[in-house]
Amino acid sequence: MEWIRNLLGYEGMIVVEPQGRSGGLALLWREENQASLRSMSNNHIDVETRVNCMSPWRLTGFYGEPNRNHRRKTWDLLRNLARDSNLPWCTIGDLNNTLSHNDKRGGAQYPNYLIEGFTESILDAGLTDMSLEGYQFTWEKGRNSDNWMEARLDRALVNTGWLNLFPIAKLYNTEGSPSDLSPVHLDLKARSMGQGNKHFRFENAWLMERLCYQ
């Protein structure tokens, strides 16, 4: 990751090392003093961001438990993070869970208890699921076969304070990834701050780009 940080010209980086051959998270940002670590685990990196004269807000890069038997850990982590601060908050990443049966196509029907448990945790955390612009599925398996499945596992969840800061933000599915997950791109435009843009891209690492208003 240090090689990637240098290649991109970023100053800030937080890494959660993999456990054996699995896991591992990374969050990178452009200028070192624009983010500070709040907490981290094998499934998240939570930072507070400060950009120019804007109010501080939280960004949490998130990776949901892939094992369905452990999915409750994801839900409880969302609730615990929500209780940790009242700052405007965005959590983005591969949550490894769908919110409705429309979020999945192909294969067996997604279990209702997983949808209901995830939905309840989001409500308890005071978060809203951002709509996704573009292709509605971010994960696939078995393309061009009889067992082709697609699902929306990647999303951005935000609270009311964050929506007030970025009322016209958009979340895009950029597609075109060689992996089984499509990168999602969060385009932030703070209406009260003029025409400045900020961008976040997620795919197995979180990159915080162009964090200064032009």
What's the domain count of the chain? 1
Tokens linked to 200: 């976040």
pLDDT of residue 78: 97
b/e burial code for range 128-165 (CB count within 10 A of at least 16 → b): ebbebeeeebbbbeeeeeeeebbbbbbbbbbbebbeeb
Tell whether 54 is covered by a domain.
yes
Q: What is the pTM of this model?
A: 0.86
Q: Reduced to 3 states, what is the DSSP secondary structure of residue 212?
A: coil
CA distance 117 to 112: 8
Q: Any residues with CB less than 8 A from the CB of 77 and at least 6 apart, and which?
A: 41, 43, 44
Mean pLDDT per 10-residue section of the chain, whose length is 214 residues: 79 83 80 91 92 83 93 97 95 94 94 97 98 92 87 95 91 74 78 49 46 33
Tell whether 214 is covered by a domain.
no
Range of the domain at 168: 2-209
Distances (CA, A) of 116 to 97, 120, 121, 128, 211: 10, 6, 9, 15, 36
Under a CB-based contact definition with an 8 Å cutoff, are residues 111 and 103 in contact? no
- CA–chain centroid gap for 202, Å, is 7
Burial category of 28 from C-beta neighbours within 10 Å (exposed 0-12, middle 13-18, buried 19 and up): buried
pLDDT of residue 161: 96
Residue type, 9: G
pLDDT of residue 103: 96
With CA atoms as reference, report the closest residue to 200 among 156, 168, 165, 158.
Answer: 156
pLDDT of residue 210: 39
Tell whether 152 is covered by a domain.
yes
Query: What's the CATH number where 44 sits?
Result: 3.60.10.10
Tell whether 77 is covered by a domain.
yes
pLDDT of residue 200: 54
